[in-house]
Structure 1
Amino acid sequence: MSLLFTPLTINGITARNRLWVAPMCQYSAVDGLPQEWHHTHLTQFASGGAGIVIAEATAVSPEGRISPDDTGIWSDAHRDAWAPIVQGIRTRGAVPGIQLAHAGRKASTWSPFSGRRGTVSAHEGGWPAVAPSAIAFEGFAEPLALDIPGVDAVVDDFGAAARRAIEAGFQVIEIHAAHGYLLHEFLSPLSNHRDDAYGGSLENRARLLLRVVDAVRAEAPHAALFVRFSASDWADAGWGVDETAAVARWAAERGADFFDISSGGLVAHQQLTVGPGYQVALAAHVRQVAGVPVNAVGMIDDAAQAEQVLKDGSADAVMAGREWLRDPHYALRAASELGDDIDYWPKQYVRARR
């Protein structure tokens, strides 16, 4: 059996393989409620053999949405809308996960399907964005700097969202601290110019994330708790991979189990070269320096490539996004390509097995 199709147990929860579905925004919710589209979109990956399926960035509060079309989990109605989707994933043999998020200064923006870019105005259904400091993302409206009660409310919102996620049946909870959203904004000195307990030193800039880890772990003691980091801002004087490793180690000490290593998204002037596996080295660095389990993500589009990432010791698992969109049965195909005899082909599809 390949490493890619070797099961992995995290905090007592076993994924049947190490080829997972990364969270991918669909911009198709109504008032934060997932729709039939989300049910079909997510359960198909479980039918296709995924080990873990993580639902898209899901806002912990209405103002935490990236766009008016984002999913949320800030009420019991949202919990109840997610529950049948979660059950569908579990019935098909995959582990269901959800990414809890707050968009920070990148909130209240137009979805990619709107044909527009920038901030949604109040009269068009938008809302004021918040951030660690009143520094706008290029091309967006200036956000409001959170005061201490506002910071405390963010922590409470993450905790409440985690409780609802567990009630809905999710087994993996991922805290989104990447891609230029609120928790990443607090981490990076490019977006955090505070002079209080949440700004300045690395310990201060990491304080909010670590409080969120505490709050989520308290509400979800038996979940597999992931944190997604952007391991580099790809910009001068920005957040970097060594800081990521340090904060990952602190988060692990507070109860986080696994780390999802992505990059970028904080500033529009980032400079990076995208190519196959372009973020794998970042994952490998965090894994080695922090001594924590990680997954790699970013243009890992074929079975041999994914297997090599694991063989090289760069990561403990692989997440993919666009390849799952191109082929919702990516894992079934990958197992055939690697010669692995897996026993979770849907019986309805066995006739297509090579």
Structure 2
Amino acid sequence: MAGQAAADTSAEDIRLTRAAQAGDVAALGLLLERHRAGMRAVALSILGPGPDADDAVQDAVLVALARIGDVRDPGAVGAWLRMIVRNNCRMLLRRSRPAEPFDGLSLPDPDAGPEETLEHHALRDWVWEAVEELPVTLRIPLVLRHFTEGVTAYERIAQVLGVPVGTVRSRLNQARARLAGALNATADAAHSDARVRTAASWNEARDTLAAAEAGHFGRVLTERWSPEVALMSGAARIGGADLLARGMDGDLAAGVRQRPVNVAAGRTLAVWEMDLVSPADDPGHCPPAVAWIMSLSGGRVAQLRLFHPVVLRDSVLPERGIV
């Protein structure tokens, strides 16, 4: 009897997984509900009861939404889901160790992140369309949490937005809850092509940096960005196009160069993650990385937030540059 029950469970998992991989939204929802209890049990066994365990399960659900196409053995999908929860829990534990320097925190493997998978299977457009349905206050933390490589930690998202960590946690909880409804609402809608949009954003990032190095960053701001573009620090506007142009020119004059390493691109929000290369004669001139977090309006950048994974030596956005 037990063997037959196990066989029936495996057969149902196979059926639902294959249907979900073919784009069946209802099948994906049923699959996640079938294994939610097991996923939660793993989180509780590692983290104990509390909000961290809930976060680990909720984050795993979002990863599963984007990565269901990666499952090679549909009969073992339950183990795959529990593995995602286990990895989330271990990441939370590493981040909570007080003796570990903040800059040394382990980040999620880019190969295991949802953004790359969105490039390879049919659910990518559906997920992005649902994300776009969220209010901007919920959309930004959700994208930073799940689609970037270096701005995933609650503390870092809080720095970007200029809000307490508790507010970030609250907004992410609201975003996850709202996302479930948005996913259902957009399942049968026409979706824009996230792969094409992301490729275009990669090209724009490279073109922007090339133009800046050629001395034409001001032209890029005029032609491609909003005339009222705002450089933000948290929720406060600290400057506009003039400060951006002056800062970029100052960085380049000092020998600083930027190289894009990751792009997440929606219709209303784009994130360019850059490696920063300091001049050879001053290797400590700037932090090793920066993220450009851009809110878009009509396809143009309306707001820009710059985030560094490490603390700047000087005050935020010193006059010598923007990075």
Determine which structure has the larger helix proportion and give its number. Answer: 2
Work out which structure has the larger RCO, using CA pairs closer than 8 Å and 6 or more positions apart in sequence. Answer: 1
Report if TM-score (shorter chain) is over 0.5: no
Query: Radius of gyration: which is bigger?
Result: 2
Task: Please tell me the TM-score bracket, short chain as reference.
Answer: under 0.3
TM-score (norm 1): 0.25
TM-score (norm 2): 0.26
